[in-house]
Amino acid sequence: MKRYDLIVVGAGPAGLSAAIEAAKLKMNVIVFDENEKPGGQLFKQIHKFFGSKEHKAKIRGFKIGQDLLKEAEELGVTVCLNAVVSGMYMDKELTVKINNQIHHVKGDSIIIATGAAENMVTFEGWTLPGVIGAGAAQTMMNLHGIRPGQKVFMLGTGNVGLVVSYQLLQAGCEVVALADAAPRIGGYGVHASKVARCGVPFYTSHTIVKAEGDTQVTGVTIAEIDNKFQFIPGTEKHFDADTICIAVGLSPMSQLLKMAGCQMEDNPKRGGQVPIVDACGQTSIEGIFAAGDVEGIEEASSAMIGGRICGIAAAHFLGYMDDAAFEQQYEIHQQALSGLRQGMFAPENRGKILTKTEENIDISANLLEKGYLDDSEIEKYPGVTHTIGVHPVIECSQNIPCNPCQNACPKHCIKIGEKITSLPAVDETAQCIGCGMCVASCSGQAIFLVDEACDETYASVMLPYEFLPLPKAGDTGIALGRDGSPCCEAEVISVKSSPAFDHTHLLTMKVPKQYAMKARFFRKEA
């Protein structure tokens, strides 16, 4: 039986981060992962991450994954792939299936970072081919270049449902609608808005009645539900669709921890059955740790920090790190972590209904129900001003931990301040030079550069554009409003691309003046 200082189960963001910290301290560490490739779900995340610089904000998930793998490789971390951990026993012994052989291994410390599994809901026809998990859609399109379907219906408006819907649009699929049984959209408003402005309708308080089709999905019927989750007769709506995506949350895959005898609890705020852990992720069994989604459903950014904390805690437990060094490192990571666990969507606020921002501004009910800010609400937010000449219009209306826009502006037009969750405000005394760095840096694609009167009759609007084919200067088309409905004719003035924008192109269109504060997306005429 082989012995290691540390065995990590799962080579996703949490597991790799943990192994990296341990390897830095010259621990003998191995990572097992059942998949053919390392990285967990990180390589499917093609959107820019939120947070601040220390959380790798505005970097796309798959890029963070590549960096993490490189760091692990440079430190000599052994990642054993196609290795299925089939059991965890007393005294930190694991059985692992590799190449049709069962191996027994023992770790002086163990970090379980097995991630999560997708939740499901049942409805008539839910086993039909064409009904898939949202993760499956992501895997097919972002890893294998396969479109999951032509017409896709999405159930679930948490961040997964919203992000995957946008990615489906990027892949060239049509998203026919999103629905959620809850009366409110669960994910970030900015994620919803970038889907809504493409013309995709949201149906809150709705769920699936049935998936239609004999051998595969040909359509879907949804209906409104009352506050007891019962269908309201007469509210049925039908959509033609060949694919139904389910994004109704994740559950920790914590079975190994339970098998090993770690104390478990059912904690809805953490997504289900989770181990009871201390501040370092240590379970009730000394030397066994849990990191990432298996310890509580959160974002990849927090999973990476949680993994690093577990890594140094395992090192400290085995004497590879003294108390002082551990305390110092722990403090740094813990601060980064608490930076992410703030704002409206913080774990502690799960399930709460907030009506005011930290700035005491009303939270848009329209945004929560339909996915976009109403034209009449937009003026309330500190990122929306009407300076003469080109200026940023920041349609960021919820307190989320994110601040790249503040650092992106070379002229310091954008202020968030010390508190990372504060809504960005535009400093009207600073002069915008129209460079568009803020537009490209906003992970939520919520910043527009607007010149409300570039001449007598027209205004210009610069927006982030991440679709193909890329329009070019001179193209004419339709400007769409925040709700995705056509508002006026538009002509593309310029399309700026740069490695610094990281695949977010800056499209500037010309629209009649009165639409300067309404037009937010461009669709080329067919």
Comparing CB distances to other proteins, the nearer of 132 and 285 is: 132
Q: How far is the CB of 500 from other proteins (least distance, A)?
A: 15
DSSP 273-294: EEE---TT-B-SSTTEEE-GGG
Closest to 478 in 3D by CA, of 494, 465, 489, 462: 489
Dig out the tokens for 462 from the structure. Answer: 């610069």
Q: How far is the CB of 343 from other proteins (least distance, A)?
A: 26
Question: Under 8 Å CB-to-CB from 430, ≥6 apart: which residues?
Answer: 409, 411, 412, 413
28 lies in the binding site for other proteins (CB under 8 A): no
- Contact stretch for other proteins (CB under 8 A) within 28-36, 307-315, 396-404, 476-484: 28-36
The single-letter code of the amino acid at 257 is: L
Q: How far is the CB of 66 from other proteins (least distance, A)?
A: 12
Of 70, 73, 120, 229, the one binding other proteins (CB under 8 A) is: 120
H-helix or E-strand containing 136? helix 134-138
Dig out the tokens for 15 from the structure. Answer: 């597991």
Residue 234 CB burial class (10 angstroms; 0-12, 13-18, ≥19): exposed
Of 24, 59, 66, 139, the one binding other proteins (CB under 8 A) is: 139
Site string for other proteins, 244-283 (x = CB under 8 A): -------x-x-xx-xx----x-x-x---xx----------
367 lies in the binding site for other proteins (CB under 8 A): no
Q: How far is the CB of 457 from other proteins (least distance, A)?
A: 32
Closest to 472 in 3D by CA, of 499, 449, 495, 505: 495
Comparing CB distances to other proteins, the nearer of 121 and 365 is: 121
Q: How far is the CB of 70 from other proteins (least distance, A)?
A: 18
Of 74, 183, 216, 335, the one binding other proteins (CB under 8 A) is: 216
Phi, psi (degrees; rounded to nearest 5) at 469: -70, 150
Handedness of CA 78, 79, 84, 90 (dihedral sign): positive
Of 214, 348, 456, 525, the one binding other proteins (CB under 8 A) is: 214
Question: Under 8 Å CB-to-CB from 223, ≥6 apart: which residues?
Answer: 206, 207, 209, 231, 232, 235, 236, 237
Comparing CB distances to other proteins, the nearer of 46 and 423 is: 46
Question: Under 8 Å CB-to-CB from 476, ≥6 apart: which residues?
Answer: 489, 490, 491, 492, 524, 525
Handedness of CA 177, 485, 170, 421 (dihedral sign): negative
221 lies in the binding site for other proteins (CB under 8 A): no
The single-letter code of the amino acid at 201 is: P
Of 78, 86, 230, 263, the one binding other proteins (CB under 8 A) is: 86
Decide: 52 and 330 in contact? Cβ < 8 Å: no
Phi, psi (degrees; rounded to nearest 5) at 147: -75, 130
488 lies in the binding site for other proteins (CB under 8 A): no
Count, residues near other proteins per rule CB under 8 A: 67
Comparing CB distances to other proteins, the nearer of 7 and 313 is: 7
Closest to 276 in 3D by CA, of 252, 300, 309: 252
Q: How far is the CB of 423 from other proteins (least distance, A)?
A: 27
Q: How far is the CB of 10 from other proteins (least distance, A)?
A: 12
DSSP assignment, residue 270? G
141 lies in the binding site for other proteins (CB under 8 A): yes
Q: How far is the CB of 35 from other proteins (least distance, A)?
A: 7
Q: How far is the CB of 196 from other proteins (least distance, A)?
A: 19
Of 81, 117, 318, 344, the one binding other proteins (CB under 8 A) is: 117
150 lies in the binding site for other proteins (CB under 8 A): yes
Strand segments, DSSP code E, in 66-124 are 78-80, 84-89, 93-98, 101-112, 116-118
- Contact stretch for other proteins (CB under 8 A) within 195-203, 210-218, 370-378, 427-435: 210-218
Of 28, 95, 221, 431, the one binding other proteins (CB under 8 A) is: 95
- Contact stretch for other proteins (CB under 8 A) within 78-86, 189-197, 443-451, 486-494: 78-86
Comparing CB distances to other proteins, the nearer of 210 and 380 is: 210
Of 24, 147, 341, 380, the one binding other proteins (CB under 8 A) is: 147
Closest to 150 in 3D by CA, of 217, 88, 67, 86: 217
Radius of gyration of the chain, Cα coordinates, nearest whole angstrom: 24
Of 76, 90, 91, 122, the one binding other proteins (CB under 8 A) is: 122
475 lies in the binding site for other proteins (CB under 8 A): no
419 lies in the binding site for other proteins (CB under 8 A): no
Query: Within a 10 A sphere around the Cβ of 435, how many other Cβ atoms?
Result: 18
Of 353, 388, 468, 526, the one binding other proteins (CB under 8 A) is: 468
Beta-bridge mates of residue 459:
511
CA angle (355 as vertex; 339, 518 as ends), nearest 5: 90
b/e 453-491 (16+ beta carbons within 10 angstroms → b): ebeeebbbbbbbbbbeeebeeebebbbbbbbbeebebbb
Of 54, 93, 103, 347, the one binding other proteins (CB under 8 A) is: 103
Decide: 185 and 157 in contact? Cβ < 8 Å: yes
Question: In the complex, which residues of this chain contact other proteins (CB under 8 A)?
Answer: 1-2, 34-36, 46, 60, 62, 84-87, 95, 97, 100-104, 117-120, 122, 124, 126-133, 135-137, 139-142, 144-147, 150, 170-172, 214-216, 251, 253, 255-256, 258-259, 264, 266, 268, 272-273, 466-468, 470, 503
